[in-house]
Amino acid sequence: MTDMNTGIIEAFRANAGVLGADVAGGHFAGKRLLLLHHVGRVSGKQYVTPLVAATDGDAYLVVGSLGGAPKDPVWVANVEDGTGETTIEVGDQTLQATTTVVRPTSPEWERLYGLWAAYWPDAKEYETHTDRKFPVIRLEPKA
């Protein structure tokens, strides 16, 4: 996954966030991705993770699906245990954003997850691989 992510990150930055058919088999062509910066809870290392992002007003929504794996991806815990703020790259912009991890127990989870799942059709396939409900991370750019 790291090698694939490295290629996606490089293509994202080289093309102002627009990925074409030549990246990851064209899987992300025409979709909005963002690069999420986060710090490892244990390692303290800086990481950048490319993620499919839907919108909710001015905010971006990303989901810890990990393709339907049985556990949340590590980056979710990194964000959840972080400072409540992070850096994101969207298109050719680098923004500071407030982070909110929305778990399935939250009354707004269903609406937010629904927005992301409607934007990213692979969500339905991911859901078939697990009983886990995926956390939604709302990223609100700071003015």
Average pLDDT, the chain: 92
What would the CATH number be for the domain defined by 2-141? 2.30.110.10
Q: Is the pLDDT of residue 1 over 60?
A: no
User: What mean pLDDT is predicted for residues 20-41?
Assistant: 83
The domain limits of the chain are: 2-141
Of the listed ranges 10-24, 53-67, 122-136, the one predicted with least confidence: 10-24
SS3 per residue for the chain: CHHHHHHHHHHHHHCCCCCCCCCHHHCCCCCCEEEEEEECCCCCCEEEEEEECEEECCEEEEECCHHHCCCCCHHHHHHHCCCCEEEEEECCEEEEEEEEEECCCCCCHHHHHHHHHHHCCHHHHHHCCCCCCCCEEEEEECC
Residue pLDDT, tens place only, 89-142? 999 999 999 999 999 999 999 999 999 999 998 999 999 999 999 999 999 999
Query: Does the pTM of the predicted model rise above 0.95?
Result: no
pLDDT value, residue 2: 66
